[in-house]
Structures are given as C-alpha cells and as structure tokens.
Amino acid sequence: EVQLVESGGGLVQPGGSLRLSCAASGFTFSTYAMHWVRQAPGKGLEHVSAVSRDGASTYYPNSVKGRFAISRDNSKNTLYLQMGSLRAEDMAVYYCARDRGAAAGMYYYMDVWGKGTTVTVSS
Amino acid sequence: DIVMTQSPDSLAVSLGERATINCKSSQSVLYSSNSKNYLAWYQQKPGQPPKLLIYWASTRESGVPDRFSGSGSGTDFTLTISSLQAEDVAVYYCQQYYSTPLGFGPGTKVDIK
C-alpha cells in the first residue's frame, strides 16, 4: 500500500524551530518529487515547499523562503521539513504529498497525501 | 504569481442533483506546446487530507467515480458532480501547476440541501 506518514509536529514558541518528517512506503520514493502543503485551522491549502527526486533542487514560496528547508534521504525513504523562526501564522496541519509529474525540474499535482502533523506556535 | 479563485464559496444541492463548481486563474494555465491545461481538482472531507480527483483539467484519477468530471481551458474551469451523493459532502479545491508558486483556490464547500 502506498503510504505517507508525517511526524514531528508539536507545540513550539514563536521564534522556535521544528523538524517534520514524512516516511514513505509502498512505492519507489527516489523516483518522485515531493511536497509539503499546510492548512491553517479552518483555512485552505497552501503549498510551502517542494523537492526534486534527487534532492538537488528545491522550491519555496516567499512566505517561508529563508525560514524553511526541505530535504530528503532516499536511502531512508524519508522527506523532511526543517522550520525555523516560526510565527503564529505558521500554525497549521502540515501534509507531505507525492508529485505525480514526469518531467524532471518541474512540479505538478499531488496524487498521494499523508494524514498530516499539527504544528502549534504559541507562547 | 497566478491567483486562483473559486465560485461559489459554498453550495447546497439535493441528493441526486447536479453540483457545479467554478475555478478561475488570473492567467492562462494552458501550455501551448502540449495543449494541456495545468489544473487539478481535489476533494477534502472533514478531518481528512485532500484527495486527488482530476488532473490536466479533465482526466479523472483512477478510482474516482464517473459522476465527477472536469472541464474548461485557459483560465476558466469547472468541476461537475453529476448526481450528488451523501459521501460527496466536502470542500473542493482547484490547483494550478503551470508555474510556481503552485496555487490552490480558496475552496468550495458542498453540502446536502
């Protein structure tokens, strides 16, 4: 069964750091680009980062650029999101998701999603 | 950046009736070299992650019931549920993947009337 399982969420103070993990199983992890997408309480979906199949290329929107870092360990079938300088507006459920696309260097739509891990930013 | 909008914000439809959700992009997501629209639709039920329904604007994901269909091109797109079932109560999002930042619409909530 194709599966993504996130972990690492929790309560962190403003300005603090947190590392999220996403364990992949049931597919050849190294052949897919991967994403992190977040959803603030009662709000819509926001894309926060992407990484290429080999980890060499990453993408961040302006909202998290310089504060978040996505990475992957293909030998461990695991995706990571290192989050720093956390703000109240970063509080959300964070989903990891698999990219369906075929072309290297491009990002497409997301065909497999984890159940998410919750990040709470509060003093 | 491409901005995605959706209408209506919410709608209530009787069981067995048609539900229509609109999605508009601030610029075309049609890639001329392959004539594909870089637009996907997702369904999110309460307490669950999103689920891919449609990609390339009109290609149904494997396992998705054929009452779900996508149409449109360029900047205007539609998700249609031909005969609403109780299990279709959810929020529906469109997403463009024509360019980064990848953008989602704000969502349309579908309920039973």
Alpha carbon of B85: minimum distance to chain A alpha carbons (Å): 23
Asked whether B36 and B30 are in contact (CB, 8 A), the reply is yes
**pLDDT higher than threshold 80 for residue B1:** yes
Helical H segments across chain A, by residue range:
none
Asked whether B37 and B23 are in contact (CB, 8 A), the reply is no
| CB proximity A107 to B under 8 Å | yes
Number of other residues whose CB lies within 10 A of the CB of residue A33: 26
Edge-to-edge strands of the sheet including B4-7? B4-7, B19-25, B76-81, B68-73
Q: Would you state the pLDDT for residue A104? A: 74
Asked whether A75 and A120 are in contact (CB, 8 A), the reply is no
**Which token pair is A64?**
């998290």
Residue B92 exposed, middle or buried by CB count within 10 Å (0-12, 13-18, 19+): buried
**Which token pair is B26?**
């601030």
Whole-number Å distance between alpha carbons of B53 and B96: 14
Helix (H) or strand (E) run with residue B11 in it: strand B10-13
B38, B48, B50 ranked by CB distance to A45: nearest? B50
How many Cα atoms occupy the beta-carbon half-sphere of A67 within 13 Å? 17
Alpha carbon of A81: minimum distance to chain B alpha carbons (Å): 18
The confidence band for B80, taking pLDDT boundaries of 50, 70 and 90, is very high
Task: Print burial letters for B23-45: b (CB count within 10 Å at least 16), e (below 16).
Answer: bbbeebbbeeeeebbbbbbbbbe
Q: Would you state the pLDDT for residue A57? A: 93
Q: Give pLDDT < 70 ranges for chain A.
A: none
Q: Is residue B87 classed as helix, strand or coil in its secondary structure? A: helix
| Cross-chain residue pair A100–B55, CB shorter than 8 Å | yes
Q: Give me the residues paired with residue A120 across strands.
A: A11
Contacts of A61 in chain B (CB under 8 A): 100-101
The per-residue pLDDT for range B29-53, each reduced to its tens digit, is 999 999 999 999 999 999 999 999 9
The per-residue pLDDT for range B54-78, each reduced to its tens digit, is 999 999 999 999 999 999 999 999 9
Output phi, psi for A90, to 5 deg: -85, -5
The per-residue pLDDT for range A100-109, each reduced to its tens digit, is 987 777 899 9
A95, A107, A115 ranked by CB distance to B102: nearest? A107
Q: Would you state the pLDDT for residue B42? A: 98
B-chain residue closest to A47, CA distance: B102
Mean pLDDT computed over every residue of chain B: 97
